[in-house]
Amino acid sequence: MSAAFIILLLIVLIYDYINGMNDSGNIVASMVSSRSMSLGSALLLAAIFEFLGPFLLGTAVAKTIGSGLFDPSVINLKILYAAVLGAISWNLITQLLGRPSSSSHALLGGLIGAVAVSSGIDKIHTAGVIKIFLILLTSPLLGFVITFIVMKLLFLLTENTTPKVNKILKIMQIPASVFLAVSHGGNDAQKSMGIIVIALITCGLQGSFSVPLWVKLLCSFALALGILTGGVKIMKTLGSKIFKISPIHGLGIQFSSAAVIFTAALLGGPVSTTHVVSSSVIGAGSSVGLNRVRWNIVTDIVLSWVLTLPLSGGIAIAFYYAIIYIKI
């Protein structure tokens, strides 16, 4: 392994770690805000099952990232450096602002921007890009709709119960949060796996697209470590600024968003956990009443979603031109 590959490997693992930090707020917001579990316990539980996710759900998403967007033969290490650094930069900016933003969108924007300026737009697989964008666009809508329906069913089931039902709902959030953590780990860790495998192929260290065990272990560990240390600002945004979450809402949000992310991971769809969970929170609030949702906060979140792709792509292009003359 060359020094350039090892440095790229470290940068990808940093991206994975920051991805975990960015999404930890999404994963535990419902649990903590509904007071079903303490922050420390929720993060530890999430981290354990985040680590296991990729081993339970396969590597279909990694293959989509690694070969669905472009022919790996047009890739060089400079492109990968620029793409991942662009995604990291955007994630850090949104972390500081406390705005939920998609690490998936940031990485895709970085890859598209770097490939476009280095090899030409014609080297990007249009069908693959359209497929991924359709998945990224429809998954939040599914999160909203499914959560809205699930909440209505939960309200119906608990209509004539006493406040003691909250204890049951809090307990039920534990398996729901495990389901969400496994789904997120199985989807998001694979994105960095895909980048590393492309680098292995580019450097002649591997002949075909398959994810080695050591890559799975490193990416899963980096994501889980990020989950343990992250996202308090984003958790507050999702947990209380959009809509005040109670145990019944937390259960509906976790189950519904996990179902969408889990299904996408099995089908190889690189969805944005941030978008799905945020939309599920909005769906839960809307099921109570549209006036219960703080739509000004929602508007800010949607704006950050819209800006993610072009700005992360622009940052990646800037990085590419900054390193183009460096011998790698």
Domain boundaries, the chain: 3-323
Residues of the chain with pLDDT under 70: 1, 67, 98-101, 231-244, 292, 294-298, 300-301, 304-305, 328
- What pLDDT shows up at residue 35? 76
| Phi, then psi, of 124 in degrees rounded to 5 | -90, 130
- What pLDDT shows up at residue 304? 66
One-letter identity of residue 191: K
- What pLDDT shows up at residue 210? 85
Instruction: Report d(CA 192, CA 65) in Å as an integer.
Output: 9
Element (H, E) at 96: helix 77-97
- What pLDDT shows up at residue 298? 66
Instruction: Report d(CA 232, CA 230) in Å as an integer.
Output: 6
Instruction: Report d(CA 34, CA 164) in Å as an integer.
Output: 14
Structure tokens at 295: 């739509």
Q: Helix 213-228 and helix 3-33: axis angle, to 10°?
A: 40
pLDDT in tens, 182-203: 988 888 888 899 899 989 988 8
Instruction: Report d(CA 75, CA 111) in Å as an integer.
Output: 10
- What pLDDT shows up at residue 235? 56
pLDDT in tens, 241-262: 556 677 888 889 889 999 999 8
Q: 């924007």: which residue's tokens? A: 109
| Phi, then psi, of 160 in degrees rounded to 5 | -110, 25
203 contacts: CB under 8 Å, gap ≥ 6: 1, 2, 5, 77
- What pLDDT shows up at residue 89? 92
